Amino acid sequence: METLWFMFVAVMVAAYVVLDGFDLGAGAIYLAAGKTADERRKILRAIGPVWDGNEVWLIAAGGTLYFAFPLLYASSFSGFYLPLMMVLWLLMLRGIGIELRAHMENPVWVGFFDLIFCVSSVLLAVFFGAALGNVVRGVPLGADGYFFEPLWTNFRVGTNTGILDWYTVLTGVIALVTLTAHGSLYVAVKTDGELNLRTRNVALWAWPLQLTLTIVGLIATCYVQPTVLDNYKQHVVGFLIPVIVFGSLGAMIYSIRKGLDKLAFVGSALYIVGMLVGAAFALYPVVLPASTDPVHRSLTIYNTAAGRHGLTVGLAWWIPGMILALGYFTLLFRMFRGKVRLEGEGY
Amino acid sequence: MDSALLVHRIHFAFTITFHYLFPQLTMGLAPLIVVLKTIALRRKNEVYHQAARFWARIFGINFVLGVVTGIPMEFQFGTNWSHFSRFAGGVIGQTLAMEGVFAFFLESAFLGLFLYGEKRLSPRAHWCSAVAVFLGSWLSGFFIIVTDAWMQHPVGFVGAADGSVQLSSFWELVLNPWAWWQYAHNMSGAVITGAFVMASVGAFYLLWGKFQDYGRIFVRVGVTAGLIFSVLQLFPTGDGQGRMIAQHQPVTLAAMEALFVSQSGAPLVIIGQPNVEERKIDNPIEVPSALSFLTYRAWKADVQGLDAFPRDMWPENVALLYYSYHIMVGLGTIFIAISVVAALLLWRGKLFSSRWMLWILLLALPFPYIANTAGWMTAELGRQPWLVYGLMRTADGYSKQVSAGNGIFTLLGFLGMYTVLGILFLFLVRREIEQGPAAEVSSGH
């Protein structure tokens, strides 16, 4: 039962990163790729009707995590107090940047909100990557299951870590590059003409960086948290995951060169899912490793889960609820399918 | 009081109070927009369509503010109240997760269609998206109320070996009688906000002499909904909520009324300042025996005063609780009076030319917000000193590992951020109102 809910939460987190990832990425390239006012409006229009729905995956994933693993939620949210509060502020700035920009007429204020949107998107991508890095690297958990990390200490990994050290900065950069490519490909799918070519080019230039960082990231992870290999050694089927990761990288470069934007976007989505599933597979059944005493203090799906009865009841509403949600999203993306046009309603 | 505890309490109180300014209008306007859309569809009336579009624009701005200030609420359960989450997550995790899965997906997906998809959808499909947004916002409110009602009156749980509580009956949790009274009372309060805001904007247009067709529609719909729901707010919803408190939190009732001494035929204090040190009311104006009657339907009934309970069971801030409650009830009474007079004038066909009444409607705008805020303060201050009534004290629920210094840092951050958000909101809404419903679709939409 705990394993099932671990998979459900992982699926929701992956859905969040794939979906909100493309609008974060679109935000990150926004100022560079959108040269004219019309191009910027096109980018905003490409994400406008869907970004809020994408962000709901974060809320729903958080809610499901709270429901299934309350102790994990309590421990990690209070331990990552400062970066999470900053994520909240960035999410706020970004939300008003996207939505309220459209209500501004003065070019000075439009420019101001453009900048807010772009900067907050970049920082969020880095924060989310660093967050994942923290979870993989482990945190200084106390015997009571709690910890508190300052923003940084000495930038070294070990037992006296801050949120940021060389490893989590690295994972933050990987996330930024990955989402930049992901967002560029989404904008490429949704637009034509100059903007389409330019965003495809961003993805083309990002690709070698993404490949290098993936390899560096894998090596660094094995160095920082050697236990990640245990599950792979025990279940050789796990090695399919890196095959998928590199396969999708290959598919990306092939389809970007051929101008097959949709295929490239799917490849990028698959790459993200592969990376996240790879991390989840490596950690399972641990959900937050303790750097202090990995064997006894690590939080696992078993010592953090809610009661059995509650988890069973949850199946009865979570599954139909998610089927409904998938239905809404299919409808939403279908209604706004195709390349964006500037005439007509919205943004 | 431990200073970190105080910081975490103020942190939550401030962010939730500011947040709820927005959802109350979201939940209050959504059904009124459905009413406008329905009339537009039935009568094939373009003015009503345009009126609905105008309110959809206001709704959109308001919704964004509600979303961005709402995310911190879910986060704070973990960041600032981790011991509470660890204790109660096995129960209230159910409703909080259900809110995300059922309400937020519905609301956000269809809001995109409702705000930006009118030209892509048939009129009927567009109407359906408005209904879906309405349902989503009201479902969201339901799950939050069930969560709060469980903290007020915990049901459907068992204690676990590790000291936490776990769900034992899903239906007891969802069918908690406290939740249903509180939901009815809260949603009716939200519609009062929506109705008074709509009537206020309508009155503004009529007094201004611009967009008068729209002004009349807004005043008519606003006053009608305002009358219905300000009556429902008192009876049966307010009455039912009050009897829940009398039954399950008698000490809270005593503190709300500042009844220091148990007595039969207890009076109802209308005005007066509670003097907790001397345990009396200063400058009281009272209705004799009224409290006994309202609570137990008998003029001579015994009502327990604060002296019937040990001091450490009292809500900590009796005076603030008393004022919150009295402000809520006082404003609720005024809303009924305003609505009745305005509805009578409307019925006689004189409202649109009665400038004095239009001025009252215009200036009434902030008061439903104050009443709703005071109502929530009554509920949450009244629950003290408990975080989960009878099970966990507030002092045991906060994140002990997050220091007061870190809490103050983020509290200051939120104060600054919310000041900016509030100014932006007022600026943008004022601009939409001044541009009016008939203006060409603004560059934004």
Query: What are B330-348's pLDDT values in tens digits?
Result: 999 999 999 999 999 999 9
What pLDDT score was predicted for residue A52?
84
Residue A287 has what DSSP assignment? E
What pLDDT score was predicted for residue A183?
95
Give percent of chain B with pLDDT exceeding 90. Answer: 91
The answer to whether B105 faces chain A, any CB pair under 8 Å, is yes
Residue A97: list chain B partners with CB under 8 A.
Answer: none
CA distances from B235 to B184, B239, B332, B367 (A): 11, 6, 11, 20
pLDDT per residue over A112-149, tens digit each? 999 999 999 999 999 999 999 999 998 989 888 899 98
pLDDT at B160 over 60: yes
Contact B108 A84 (CB under 8 A): no
The residue extents of the domains of chain A are: 2-335
Across-strand partners of B281? B274
Nearest to B111 among A52, A61, A306 (CB): A52
How many C-beta atoms lie closer than 10 Å to residue A326's C-beta? Answer: 12
Contact A99 B91 (CB under 8 A): no
What pLDDT score was predicted for residue B200?
97
Mean pLDDT of chain B: 93
Give percent of chain B with pLDDT exceeding 70. Answer: 98
Q: What is the pTM of this model?
A: 0.93
How many residues are there in chain B? 445
Which residues of chain A, if any, have pLDDT below 50?
A: none
Q: Dihedrals φ, ψ of B438, to 5°?
A: -90, -10
Give percent of chain A with pLDDT exceeding 90. Answer: 64
Measured in angstroms, the CA of B199 and the nearest CA of chain A are apart by: 24
Which residue shows structure tokens 């930049």?
A180
User: How confident is residue B145, by pLDDT bands cut at 50, 70 and 90?
Assistant: very high
Record the tokens describing residue A45, joined without a space: 């229009």
What pLDDT score was predicted for residue B441?
45
**Mean pLDDT to the nearest integer, B169-195:** 97
Measured in angstroms, the CA of A24 and the nearest CA of chain B are apart by: 16
The residue extents of the domains of chain B are: 193-391
Mean pLDDT of chain A: 90
Give me the residues of B, 170-189, that contact A with CB < 8 A: 170
Residue B78: list chain A partners with CB under 8 A.
Answer: 66, 73-74, 76-78
Measured in angstroms, the CA of B248 and the nearest CA of chain A are apart by: 26
Interface test with A, best of B11, B76, B105, B128 (most A CBs within 10 A): B105
Q: Dihedrals φ, ψ of B23, to 5°?
A: -60, -30
Nearest to B86 among A61, A71, A95 (CB): A71
User: How confident is residue B244, by pLDDT bands cut at 50, 70 and 90?
Assistant: very high
User: How confident is residue B444, by pLDDT bands cut at 50, 70 and 90?
Assistant: very low
What pLDDT score was predicted for residue B183?
97
The answer to whether B85 faces chain A, any CB pair under 8 Å, is yes
What pLDDT score was predicted for residue B400?
93
Of B20, B95, B91, nearest to B62 by C-alpha is: B20
What pLDDT score was predicted for residue B375?
97
Contact A67 B441 (CB under 8 A): no
SS (H, E, C) chain B: CCHHHHHHHHHHHHHHHHHHHHHHHHHHHHHHHHHHHHHHHHHCCHHHHHHHHHHHHHHHHHHHHHHHHHHHHHHHHHHCCHHHHHHHHHHHHHHHHHHHHHHHHHHHHHHHHHHHCCCCCCHHHHHHHHHHHHHHHHHHHHHHHHHHHHHHCCCCEEECCCCCEEECCHHHHHCCHHHHHHHHHHHHHHHHHHHHHHHHHHHHHHHHCCCHHHHHHHHHHHHHHHHHHHHHHHHHHHHHHHHHHHHHCHHHHHHHCCCCCCEECCCEEEEEEEECCCCEEEEEEEECCHHHHHHHCCCCCEECCHHHCCHHHCCCCHHHHHHHHHHHHHHHHHHHHHHHHHHHHHHCCCHHHCHHHHHHHHHCCHHHHHHHHHHHHHHHHHHCCEEECCCEEHHHCCCCCCCHHHHHHHHHHHHHHHHHHHHHHHHHHHHHHHHCCCCCCCCCC
Contacts of B191 (CB under 8 A, 6+ apart): B27, B28, B31, B32, B225, B229
Residue B103: list chain A partners with CB under 8 A.
Answer: none
What pLDDT score was predicted for residue A344?
59
pLDDT at B37 over 90: yes
**Mean pLDDT to the nearest integer, B405-409:** 94
The answer to whether B408 faces chain A, any CB pair under 8 Å, is no
What pLDDT score was predicted for residue B442?
42
How many residues are there in chain A? 347
How far does chain A reach from its first CA to its final CA, in angstroms?
45
